[in-house]
Amino acid sequence: MPQQLPDENAPREDSGGDSRPVAAATADLLRQSIVDSLPFSVIATDTEGNIVAANPAADRLLGFAHEELLGRSVLILHDTRELERRARGLSRMIGITIPPNFQVIVASGSQGAADEREWVYVRKDGGRLPVNLAITSLRDTTGRVSGFLNVAYDITMRKRAEAFIRHTAHHDALTGLPNRSLLLDRLHVGLSQSRRHGSRLAVLMLDLDRFKAVNDALGHQIGDRLLLAVGQRLRRCVRAEDTVARLGGDEFVLLLAQAPSGGELTPLLHKIVDTIGAPIVLDGHELLITPSIGCSLFPLDGDDAVTLLKNADTAMYHAKAGGRGHFRWFESSMHQRSEDNLALGAALRRAIESSELSIHYQPEVSLRNGRVIGMEALVRWHSLGQGSVPPNRFVPIAEETGLIQQLGEWVLRTACHDCMAIGRSLDRNLTLAVNVSPRQFRRKDWLPIVESALESSGLAAEQLEIEITEDMLVQNPEESARILRVLCEMGVGVVVDDFGTGYSSLSSLVRYPIDKIKIDRSFIGDLATGAPSTATVDAIIAMAHSLDIRVIAEGVETEQQMRHLRNRGCDQAQGYHYGPPVPLAEFQALYRTLEPRPG
């Protein structure tokens, strides 16, 4: 039976026939019964800290047999390091050096009021147990402190809940990486340390090229797993003391403390690009993801967190504009370029209204007989103020500003009229390929615009080919399929441009009414040299034909490339081997030079 807790008010002498001893004994039993039934650990000690009594809940909580506790110092239940830490804190508070012993535990309780705080109990097996511990003094009839009462209960679940709340407030729910709040906190701390030690600090802003296409094509579950894999790869690229944070979506930030100079970080940036760019296989899908990275360096590119993040973001934007898998360090001139982009957008708007734009046409040639069978319309801009502006400069601006809708409609209508004109001049019908942007493709009035352009020009629907990219197919596949079916019913052909650079496969194109795919020029340069891209081109041609889809190769520049494609059964080709894009007035002359001579 557990030893009874001492009763300081119990009678000390025999009172004869007095009933008061019986009543006192009954009260003692009742009090002991209550203590024994409590779910809290109750431990009584003498003034030296030796355990004189404990209830069953204490035995269960601490894993000791009852007899193993009695007579031992209560210090066995406490971590020595915690006692030392508390002693130092108490010493600072009262201005007197307190030894790390039992006095640390009972110092407040000896003043009469209960001292309640969180402690860590040490179980018999060595396990640490967080508890809420209340200590109060026990006094005899004279008011003298005769011992202490320690009442504790397990707060493990509460501590876990608090830790979870703290973690979710500062970490991304998906990847477990620090979120924006924790990143900013660490960035402020890092800046303070860098200022104090005169060291550098690097901020790398990273996002994934064409992540949205993967997410839309394969679903959010695959997209989430992809982000998780990227986060894990990024952690492996940097040191333990560096921070990898996720800001949201596919945007990550790396914070590198005590960073070397920008040039010395170049190998790390290449490592990040290569690591993220390695294939990731999820549910049988091999995904090739590339990052665009913008970098800023303290103190060169900013003296505060907001400026460093802003400049890294600006550098990332310019890295993305340079193509996939690139990184750029921030340059002050980038802000000027951003202002230039605004000015260019305004100039483009005026150019559309003042007829500064023109359309050039590049021939598409049959590899079966060498005849010109079509032409692709390509917009050009010769600015009165800026001279010739390349398409890769102004088309992205048109996309960002929404001018692409007005520009695209003008190109479509003008090209349809030009194709009719060149057909009458050559006395034969050519197909016309016109590119459409994602923003045009999603417009509710785009299909009526196509119908209107055909009707007003007189061009047969069968002569028009609309070129779309793989990304446009995987973004909202159901709606894309519906739009393409309407085009098919109209008689308009559908061509998938830049095939091989996205995430769709030939087998996935079966669900869409696709007439032709255009192999991206990046695969054509190494043809017939034994490069891996040669096998890719050969496989694309064979598989497309098995699905009754025609193939055209762009970027054909040499006779050798042309012969390889022809020998593999490729249907059509275009490129500088046949001629560059030229104005309509010159297209007829180019056509005549390309036409095979009789005999």
Sort strands 145-154 and 285-287 into parallel, antiparallel or unpaired: unpaired
DSSP letter string, 45-71? EETTSBEEEE-HHHHHHHT--HHHHTT
Cβ contacts of 545 within 8 Å, gap of 6 or more: 551, 569
Tell me if the pTM is above 0.75.
no
E strand or H helix at 422, and its extent?
helix 403-426
| Distance of alpha carbon 113 from alpha carbon 125, whole angstroms | 33
| Distance of alpha carbon 522 from alpha carbon 47, whole angstroms | 85
| Distance of alpha carbon 245 from alpha carbon 182, whole angstroms | 8
Return the closest-CA partner of residue 405 out of 375, 453, 445: 445
DSSP designation for 578: T
The residue type found at 300 is L
Backbone angles phi, psi at 591, to 5 degrees: -60, -45
Cβ pair 374, 365 in contact under 8 A: no
Q: What is the pLDDT along the chain (599 residues), one digit of tens a residue?
A: 445 555 544 444 454 555 566 555 565 566 666 666 678 888 888 888 889 888 988 888 999 988 888 988 888 888 878 777 776 765 565 454 545 555 555 544 445 556 788 888 999 998 989 999 888 888 888 888 888 888 999 998 988 888 788 877 888 889 999 999 999 999 999 999 999 988 999 999 999 987 877 877 788 898 899 999 999 999 999 998 999 999 988 999 999 988 887 678 889 999 999 999 888 888 888 888 889 999 999 999 999 999 999 999 989 988 887 677 889 998 887 766 666 667 777 778 888 877 788 999 999 999 999 999 999 999 998 877 777 888 888 888 888 778 888 899 999 999 999 999 999 999 999 999 999 988 888 888 899 999 999 999 999 999 999 999 877 776 677 888 899 999 999 999 999 988 866 545 566 677 889 999 999 888 888 775 666 678 888 888 998 998 899 999 999 999 999 999 999 999 999 999 999 999 999 998 898 888 876 65
Peptide bond into 21 cis (omega under 30): no
DSSP designation for 373: E
Ordered structural domains, the chain, with CATH: 20-160 (3.30.450.20), 171-331 (3.30.70.270), 338-593 (3.20.20.450)
**Three-class secondary structure of residue 154 per DSSP:** strand
Q: Which two tokens stand for residue 356?
A: 């500064």
Backbone angles phi, psi at 326, to 5 degrees: -115, 160
Cβ pair 293, 269 in contact under 8 A: yes
Sort strands 516-519 and 550-553 into parallel, antiparallel or unpaired: parallel
Cβ pair 361, 582 in contact under 8 A: yes
